[in-house]
Amino acid sequence: MRFGVIVFPGSNCDHDAYHVISKHVGQPVDFIWHKETDLSGFDAVIVPGGFSYGDYLRAGALARFSPVMKAVKKFAEEGKFVLGICNGFQILCESGLLPGALMRNSGLHFICKHINIKIENKNTPFTNELENGKVLSIPIAHAEGNYVCDDSTFYELEENGQIVFRYCDKNGDAIETSNPNGSRSNIAGICNRNRNVLGMMPHPERACEELLGSNDGRDIFRSLTNRIAELAN
């Protein structure tokens, strides 16, 4: 099993993701420079957080045209796993690998804090270690996390179980006051129809050690490694 962490100019959570995969998940992992065009040999790639291309134009809008993104599209079409975190989620939406878009937070501020999210669908490669309704404490750190999509996309997401995480309070209720950024229907993370591409605004790689306030993020990486191991057998 091999993980890759894509590095764009301006990525800044690439080392966190690398650290978690090598130290806590215990799997081989490589950095992949954004000019790379071949992802063969990898089972999963992480599109990490940060400010690729300085967030110029729109968050993720320019990274979408980096050479590696063609390879990521092909990789996703082959059914391999792509996890986009924060800026990675924005890049996946901009490239059309995930539906919808991430706009400026409704309160306009950059928000950096621990929030609660709940599992809406445990039947994905990223959540199979979890239960529906389970609440995770995971930090967010973004100014553009306000998920928007049109009505037909939204109903499709709901119908296909593509809404994977919702912002909620500590009891697991996805109420308006627990929505940090104005996201439609408290959406914190979605997957594609085939469920092998996931984008989420919260940072699970920053929640893998008690010292950092939470290790709830580990279950997401553990779910993914389980699924990859299952496929290998």
Partner 1 sequence: MKAKVYVTLKPSVLDPQGKAIHHTTELLGIENIGDIRQGKFFEIALDSSLSETEAQQTVEKIAKDILANPVIEDYEVKLVH
Q: Report the catalytic residues.
A: 86, 203, 205
**Buried/exposed 163-185: b ≥16 CB within 10 Å, e otherwise:** bbbbbbeeebebeeebbbbbbbe
CB-nearer residue toward partner 1: 161 or 182: 182
Look at the alpha carbons of 112, 113, 115, 120 in this order and tell me if their dihedral is positive or negative. Answer: positive
State the Cα–Cα distance between residues 158 and 85, nearest whole angstrom. Answer: 21
How far apart are CB 108 and partner 1 at their closest, in Å?
A: 6
Structure-token pair, residue 69: 């993104």
146 belongs to the binding site for partner 1 (CB under 8 A): yes
**Of the listed pieces 15-23, 118-126, 142-150, 157-165, which binds partner 1 according to CB under 8 A?**
142-150
- Which letter does DSSP use for residue 97 in this model? S
Please pick, from the candidates 38, 77, 150, 158, the single residue that binds partner 1 as defined by CB under 8 A: 150
148 belongs to the binding site for partner 1 (CB under 8 A): yes
H runs (alpha helix) in 35-129: 67-77, 87-94
Draw the binding track, 97-116, toward partner 1 (x: CB under 8 A; -: no contact): --xxx-xxxxxx--------
Residues that bind partner 1 (CB under 8 A): 57-58, 61, 65, 93-94, 99-101, 103-108, 146, 148-150, 182
